[in-house]
Structure 1
Amino acid sequence: MTTQHWLRDERLHFGVGIEDTFVPQEGVGRRRLDEYELMQHYENWREDLDLAAEAGAEFIRWGIPWYLVEPRPGEFDWRWLDQVSAHMQQLGLRCVVDLMHYGTPLWLDNQFVNAAYPERIASYARAVAERYAGVWDDFTPLNEPVINAIYCGEDGVWPPYLVGDDGFAKVIVALAKGMVRTQQEIAAVNPAARFVHVDAGFRWEGDHGGRLGRELLEERRFISLDLITGRVVPGHAMHAYLTRNGISAHDLAWFADNAVTPDYVGVNYYPGFTTARYRADGSTEPVEAGTTGLRDLIELYWNRYELPIVVTETSRGGSVESRLAWLDESLEEIDALRREGVPVLGYTWFPFFTLVDWLYRHDTKTPDDWFVHMGLVDVVRGADRRLERRKTDVFGAFQDRARV
């Protein structure tokens, strides 16, 4: 007998997510970036999870710091995860486990382009899935693969600091292979597992598409999901792009032979910066797109893959008033899409509380100088240097909507 998955009923399910970017590699002018450390989540994890449950969240997107859990190859330290998973279960808070949120362990030379990366991450994922089966059954193999490949492979901002189309191609193929192997290994030890593929839904305005051109940009945003589902075959726009940037036809054929399908497609959307416009000099600037952009992305992913949609990240930075307005506007648009037959099954306010801007990694200013308030809860540092969690009016509004 097959039990219906909890997302598959008629309700819209409400969740929150804790920002969990981990880039532990340091260097000259490059600080370690661990959002849990910067937000004192390691010390306050129990309070943070209690607050998430109090907000009315049914589920939480929460990531594992791989670099700490597997400090040496094949050696795992489960002590903290055991406590966290048990407390989530006690709260009745379902976890969509974020297995990879950018950073690899320090022992993995060359990070994502290490030849062993796909098997290393698959081995780690299998160990997690096996240990927590029945407690954690929902997984995101890798968060925002295209942004990951841009930062690590195209723009040279994060390890392994590759640049250009050649670098992007190498990193995105390695990430996608790791995603496939992760899903395969988790399914082998936990047949009840479900998979939520999460990507940032890029949008552009204007006719200029930078050095790649608008048409190729439109296709490239789907590259990771097209790879893992075996769609990048001869004739696909990304097949030609990848092969001319050093990826062999044999490597691409591997994906068609090992195709996996997620259970849900997660769409990350921020009204103030998901959409961009190219300037004449080739740089980009963010464009406010509101609910028009949200609808556009959801419909694009639904029409392309015909898989149920979860809004896995959305929020608006700035004042509490602007956040309250976005909560109402975005939920109204999602309700309209659902009435039209688009299966949007989940809504995630992300981040749940304040985060530190990623630019902190390349700066010498304090974390407080890089605080970005986008959450239901604001974080404020006290005289004792501890970070206090302060519920905003958005917390109560979200709670009211989630508990209807």
Structure 2
Amino acid sequence: MRIFGRLLACLVVFTSLLAAAPASAADEVAPLPDDFLWGVSSSGFQSEGSNPDSNWLRYSQNKEHVGNAVDFRNRYAEDIALAADMGVEVYRFGIEWARVEPVPGEWDEAELAYYDDVVQHVLDAGMTPMITLNHWVHPGWVADQGGWKSDETLRDFTAYTERIVDRYADTGAMWVTFNEATLYVYHEIDNKAATWFDAPWIFDRLAKAHNAAYDLIHAANPDAMVTSNLAFIPLSPWLFDAAFIDRIAGKLDFVGIDYYMGLSLDNLTAARAITGELADAQPDGIYYALRYYGDKFPDLPLYIVENGMATHDNAERPDGLSRAEFIEDHVYWIQRAVEDGIDVIGYNYWSITDNYEWGSYTPRFGLYTVDVLNDPDLERKPTDGVGAYTDVISGGGVPGDYEPVVRQSICSLIAPPLSCLVPAA
């Protein structure tokens, strides 16, 4: 204990000296390659509205009701056009299994035609569809058979996947099989649809479902790019990797990463998230997350599938950061990562509009804000993030002399010990 105390004291003194030192001026940052992909993300249940029976429609009855959300179901042409106006190249959206297969084995052709039109609008706007097969939501009849606790669900999901893949294989779509599988399972447990005892078997079925989907997609289009995006959790990413991403590592064409918050000795505010408060942004953490997965999967490109900043009903954040500053700072660190040889091929901002954040409309992530609870017209109002993202896309990143608003962290705990001991130069 005495040795540990001395080491801790030395570390405190060391970090105090670093904190007192002025931030060093970085060399100019280079623009991203011309083939770097700029995108926006969304999901079906969170934005479509008029949702059919599903696990999450049932959960929402005990939370803030989802209602018509931002009505993407009827306003998708508008939202896709807004993305195209910014110069976006990839439009991520989800297909709702509950919508297209409302009862077992019966396919709703009208709802499939709706998704046909969504895909066509994305293509007509010159963008690539990024299609999510499962964004935490499954049909009510799947919930009734035990959800992913049941082997029947693995069989049924594979049949659903085959139907969707056959329909869109020739569109050049990128594919996300499961959105944030570890959080998917956590929310099933939190909503009392499963227990912690069930988790290992659920993850096993999800991994088998991903692998089957991967094979189906590649049989239909050998050139397709497939992933299952992971929720990046700082401090011990390896622990969460073991639950799912490590099980499917042999059937990934790129590593999809969702990065929202960091952790460091001078920024421990990630703990606020447990109580629903907003953590202070740590943009340089995205660099360390990318470096961690670049080292772990050296043969696979990386793609930031989600990165976004929440406000509470558009109120000023505790850290004072604007959405424009948030985007610019994170893109700066992606440029630094690419300069350091990390193979990053794309970035999606979450999300194109505000939406239903799994129980509440209070968190606002949208480039376009929508006041679902008070505006019956659901007007899409641009935030300062729209202009910033438009400029970032057109410029291939931030300007070479850009100086981040949020200073580099002291002893990053994104993926310790390397993220602390070997900081970005």
Q: TM-score range by the shorter chain?
A: 0.7 to 0.9
- Equivalent residues in 2 for 1:159-178, closer than 5 Å: 161-164=193-196, 166-178=197-209
Question: Could you tell me which amino acid in structure 2 is paired with residue 41 of structure 1?
Answer: F
User: Matched residues in 1 for 2:350 and 2:59: separation?
Assistant: 31
Is the alpha carbon distance of 1:44 and 1:261 closer, same or farther for their aligned partners in structure 2, counting shifts above 3 Å?
Answer: same
Question: Could you tell me which amino acid in structure 1 is paired with residue 214 of structure 2?
Answer: Q
What secondary structure, in the 3-state scheme, does the structure 2 residue paired with 1:359 have?
coil
- 5+ residue gaps, structure 2, are 1-31, 47-52, 396-425
User: Matched residues in 2 for 1:48 and 1:102: separation?
Assistant: 22
Question: Could you tell me which amino acid in structure 1 is paired with residue 307 of structure 2?
Answer: T
Q: Any idea what the Cα deviations from partners look like across 1:156-180, whole Å, max 9, x if unmatched?
A: 2236x2222x222122112111111
Is the alpha carbon distance of 1:37 and 1:222 closer, same or farther for their aligned partners in structure 2, counting shifts above 3 Å?
Answer: farther
Is residue 196–residue 264 contact of structure 1 (8 Å, CA) maintained in 2? yes
Q: CA RMSD in A?
A: 3.1
Counterpart position of 1:133: 169
Counterpart position of 1:359: 359
Is residue 104–residue 112 contact of structure 1 (8 Å, CA) maintained in 2? no
Counterpart position of 1:302: 294
How far residue 266 of structure 1 moved from its aligned partner, in angstroms, is: 0.8
What secondary structure, in the 3-state scheme, does the structure 1 residue paired with 2:251 have?
coil
1:376 aligns with 2:328: no
1:50 aligns with 2:81: yes
User: Matched residues in 2 for 1:266 and 1:311: separation?
Assistant: 6
Matching residue within 233, 240, 265 for 2:255 = 265
- Equivalent residues in 2 for 1:232-311, closer than 5 Å: 260-271=250-261, 288=280, 290-306=282-298, 307-311=300-304
Percent of aligned positions that are identical: 23
TM-score, scaled relative to structure 2: 0.72
How far residue 127 of structure 1 moved from its aligned partner, in angstroms, is: 1.3
User: Matched residues in 1 for 2:146 and 2:384: separation?
Assistant: 44
What secondary structure, in the 3-state scheme, does the structure 2 residue paired with 1:116 have?
helix
Question: Could you tell me which amino acid in structure 1 is paired with residue 37 of structure 2?
Answer: H
**Greater gyration radius:** 2
User: Matched residues in 2 for 1:264 and 1:28: separation?
Assistant: 32
Counterpart position of 1:191: 222
Question: Could you tell me which amino acid in structure 2 is paired with residue 158 of structure 1?
Answer: N
User: Matched residues in 1 for 2:200 and 2:117: separation?
Assistant: 39
Matching residue within 68, 81, 96 for 2:99 = 68
How far residue 265 of structure 1 moved from its aligned partner, in angstroms, is: 0.4
User: Matched residues in 1 for 2:79 and 2:342: separation?
Assistant: 32
TM-score, scaled relative to structure 1: 0.76
Q: Any idea what the Cα deviations from partners look like across 1:80-134, whole Å, max 9, x if unmatched?
A: 0121111111111111101100111122211112212222212211211111222
Is residue 380–residue 390 contact of structure 1 (8 Å, CA) maintained in 2? no
Counterpart position of 2:24: none
Counterpart position of 2:26: none
Counterpart position of 1:238: none
Question: Could you tell me which amino acid in structure 2 is paired with residue 270 of structure 1?
Answer: Y
- 5+ residue gaps, structure 1, are 1-7, 205-213, 230-259, 361-369
Is the alpha carbon distance of 1:290 and 1:51 closer, same or farther for their aligned partners in structure 2, counting shifts above 3 Å?
Answer: same
For structure 1, which segment, 27-36 or 261-270, has the greater mean C-alpha deviation from structure 2 after superposition? 27-36
User: Matched residues in 1 for 2:328 and 2:33: separation?
Assistant: 23
Is residue 203–residue 276 contact of structure 1 (8 Å, CA) maintained in 2? no
